């Protein structure tokens, strides 16, 4: 096996049902324009009643395998990063394994909330570097969440932010000099109280009282989370580059967790990535939890934004509080059937930062 491990295929899936700001606003006591001005979100996707997290994850996995030109039997493991599993047990990854027919694969879940995909990517990379079944030299790393099932739609701090979706990558051998360069994982458990679901676990089991009092809903201290990101994300970016021994000027693409477009616009100038382009899909998909980095990565790869050999930084942050980051030397070519469309999209989408700087200014007023 090559000593280099990288992404050899990407895929994503968002449910067909689109929910506009207008549909969310009234219940949360705000307006559609207020949501846009505070978050940069225009819409989000919501899972159908028959869809569970494993269904979204399986479809994203199928699309990633299809792009990589692989079958499920060539996968030695499946890691699903999620904080909204189908059930407390068995692992959602076990259900995905069955759904896609990856019968050779080990399967397990990982919960680092919205930074979970980066944690799973790190784990998967190390597993492949340690060696695996030579007849199944690939791994599937999936981020998937259905936050629509755990939201209090009267809580404007959370109801407006989240959508449902899944993103996947296939990891495998790539030519030397390409692939995963370095990763960094950071935990700040002293701030765990900023994000959480207080009931349903061993500390506060489900009862009629916990249900009646809404303790199974997702809650967040928005101001505290913003402060955490503004302090911790620049430090994480700088630390990752230092570990990799690479200057910030070499980074061409930055793919962050799509938590809130306005917040990302505010922290972007502090990251020191002047030569990079920050990629955002939060306007169309909202915050899809552990799926958001993988969905965005798949979107921009299929649009042709990434070129082989370019340095790409991924960063996730979320409940715990946790941060995960990775530097990749991109190993894929632009999908051949999409090149012409990609060039047009790139010409029309050179306004990423200007848009978010405007939004950040509006939110601060």
Query: Is the pLDDT confidence value at 39 over 70?
Result: yes
Average pLDDT over residues 133-151: 94
Mean pLDDT (the chain) is: 92
Mean pLDDT score, 50-61:
98
Active site residues: 114, 257, 287
Average pLDDT over residues 154-180: 96
Q: Average pLDDT for residues 237-253, to the nearest whole number? A: 97
Distance CA 283, CA 348 (A): 16
Which helix (H) or strand (E) covers residue 328, if one does? strand 322-329
Over range 18-47, report the average pLDDT: 96
pLDDT of residue 83: 98
Q: State yes or no: pLDDT of 346 exceeds 60.
A: no
Inter-helix orientation angle 32-39/352-364, to 10°: 110
Which residue, 64, 67, 69, 24, is CA-closest to 45? Answer: 24
Q: Once rounded to an integer, what is the mean pLDDT over residues 98-125?
A: 97
- Domains observed in the chain: 4-177 (3.40.47.10), 180-364 (3.40.47.10)
Contact of 158 with 5, CB cutoff 8 Å:
no
How big is the chain, counted in residues? Answer: 365
Q: How far is CA 16 from CA 12, 45, 49, 56, 83, in A?
A: 13, 7, 12, 11, 22
Residue 337: band (very low, low, confident or very high) from pLDDT cuts 50, 70, 90: low
Residue closest to 323 by CA, chosen among 195, 197, 220 = 195
Cα distance between residue 362 and residue 343, in whole Å: 31
Place of tokens 């913003």: 226
What average pLDDT does the segment 172-198 reach? Answer: 95
Q: With cut-offs at 50, 70 and 90, classify the pLDDT of residue 100.
A: very high
How would DSSP label each residue in 294-314?
Answer: HHHHHHHHHTT---TT-EEEE
Quote the pLDDT of residue 340: 39
Residue 354 has pLDDT above 80, yes or no: no
Q: Could you give the CA distance from residue 19 to residue 26 in angstroms, rounded to a whole number?
A: 13
User: Could you tell me if 154 and 218 are in contact, meaning their C-beta atoms sit under 8 angstroms apart?
Assistant: no
Mean of pLDDT values over 111-127: 97
Q: What is the mean pLDDT of residues 173-199?
A: 95
3-state secondary structure at position 248: helix
For the cut 90, the answer to whether the pLDDT of residue 362 exceeds it is no
Q: How many helices (H) and strands (E) does the chain have?
A: 13, 14
Question: What mean pLDDT comes out for the span 130-156?
Answer: 93
Q: What is the pLDDT of residue 183?
A: 97
Mean pLDDT along residues 232-255: 97
Mean pLDDT of 339-355: 45
Is the pTM above the cut of 0.95? no
Q: Which of 288, 234, 254, 232 is nearest to 356 (CA)?
A: 254
User: Of the candidates 318, 323, 300, 185, which has an alpha carbon nearest to the alpha carbon of residue 253?
Assistant: 300
Cα(199)–Cα(164) distance, rounded to whole angstroms?
21
Does the pLDDT at position 239 exceed 60? yes
Tokens 């067909």 appear where?
16
pLDDT at 258: 98
Provide the pairing of β-strand 106-110 with 75-81. Answer: parallel
User: Dihedral through CA 302, CA 305, CA 309, CA 314, nearest 10?
Assistant: -90
Taking residues 173-179, what's their average pLDDT? 96
Instruction: Give the pLDDT mean for 134-161.
Output: 95
User: Mean pLDDT over residues 275-298, rounded?
Assistant: 98
Of 79, 146, 140, nearest in space to 289 by CA: 146
């Amino acid at each position: 096996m090559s000593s280099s491990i990288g992404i050899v295929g990407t895929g994503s899936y968002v449910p067909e049902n689109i929910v506009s700001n207008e549909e969310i606003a009234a219940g949360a006591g705000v307006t559609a324009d207020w949501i846009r001005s505070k978050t940069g979100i225009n819409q989000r996707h919501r899972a159908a009643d028959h869809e569970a997290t494993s269904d979204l994850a399986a479809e994203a996995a199928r699309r990633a395998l299809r792009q990589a030109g692989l079958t499920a039997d060539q996968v030695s493991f499946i890691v699903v990063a999620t904080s909204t599993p189908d059930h407390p047990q068995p692992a959602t990854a076990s259900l995905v394994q069955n759904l896609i027919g990856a019968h050779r694969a080990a399967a397990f879940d990982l919960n680092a909330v919205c930074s979970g995909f980066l944690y799973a990517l790190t784990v998967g990379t190390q597993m492949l570097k340690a060696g695996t079944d030579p007849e199944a030299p690939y791994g599937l790393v999936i981020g998937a969440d259905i936050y629509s099932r755990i939201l209090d739609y009267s809580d404007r701090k959370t109801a407006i932010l989240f959508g449902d979706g899944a993103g996947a990558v296939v990891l495998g051998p790539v030519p030397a000099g390409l692939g995963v360069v370095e990763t960094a994982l950071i935990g700040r458990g002293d701030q765990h109280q900023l994000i959480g679901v207080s009931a349903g676990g061993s500390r506060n089991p489900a009862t009629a009282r916990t249900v009646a009092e809404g303790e199974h809903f997702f809650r967040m201290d928005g101001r505290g989370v913003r402060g955490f990101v503004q302090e911790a994300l620049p430090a994480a970016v700088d630390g990752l580059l230092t570990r990799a021994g690479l200057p910030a000027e070499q980074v061409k693409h930055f793919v962050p967790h799509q938590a809130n477009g306005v917040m990302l616009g505010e922290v972007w100038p502090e990251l020191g990535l002047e030569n990079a382009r920050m990629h955002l899909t939060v306007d169309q998909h909202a915050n899809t939890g552990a799926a958001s980095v993988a969905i965005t990565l798949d979107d921009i790869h299929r649009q042709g934004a990434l070129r082989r050999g370019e340095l790409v930084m991924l960063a996730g942050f979320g409940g715990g509080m946790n941060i995960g980051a990775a530097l990749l030397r991109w190993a894929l070519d632009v999908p051949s059937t999409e090149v012409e469309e990609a060039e047009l999209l790139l010409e029309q989408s050179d306004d990423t930062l200007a848009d978010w700087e405007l939004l950040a200014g509006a939110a601060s007023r």
